[in-house]
Amino acid sequence: MKEKLIELLTKLKPGIDYQNQTNLISGGYFTSLEIMRLVMLLQDEFDVTISPLYIVPENFESVDAMLHLIELVEDD
């Protein structure tokens, strides 16, 4: 699942070290439109519904945070 996510992110915005980066949001790597696009992609590719209440910076700072988010909403 991690590989799939990194692949998705690289497609969305190449040239970022997704393995190690832990400040994807606070570091300003994404524009608001890219974040919106990312949320839509996660919902489509992982077949989950992400409630907007989970769309907070902490859940997108790193690949691990995003994986955690996906697991969280899978259980919902």
Partner 1 sequence: MENVIYKFEKILKQLNITKSLDKIAFLDNNKQISYKALEVNALFFATKIIEKTNKNDVVCILMKRGVDMAVMMLACIYANTPYVILDDAQPIDRIIKILNIANPKLIVYDSDNFTKYEQLKDYCNLYINSDMNVESVDKNVVFNRVNQIVSTDPIYILFTSGSTGDPKGTVVSHLNVCSYIEWFITCFKINKKTVFANQTPFYFSMSVSDYYATLLTGATNVIVPKSYFSFPVKLFEMMNEYRVNTIYWVPSVYRLIYQFKLLDYVKPNYLKLALFAGEVMPTKILNDWINHLPNVTFCNLFGPTETTDICTYYKVNRKLDNDKAIPIGNACKGLEVFLIDENNKLITDNSIGELIVKGPFVASGYYNNPTKTKASFIQNPLQDKYPEIVYKTGDLCYYNEYHELMYVSRVDFQIKHLGYRIELGEIETILNANFSVKMGFCIYDKDNDNIICFYDGKITKEELNTYLESKLPYYMIPKYYLKLNDIKLNQNGKIDRNYYQTNFNELLKEE
CA distance 39 to 35: 6
Q: Does 48 bind partner 1 (CB under 8 A)?
A: no
Closest CA to 31 of 45, 46, 49, 12: 12
| Min CB(55)–partner 1 separation in Å | 6
Q: Does 33 bind partner 1 (CB under 8 A)?
A: yes
Residue spans of alpha helices (H) in 1-76: 2-12, 32-45, 63-75
- Interface residue with partner 1 among 1, 17, 20, 52 (CB under 8 A) is 52
Residue ranges in contact with partner 1 by CB under 8 A: 12, 25, 30-37, 39-40, 51-53, 55-57
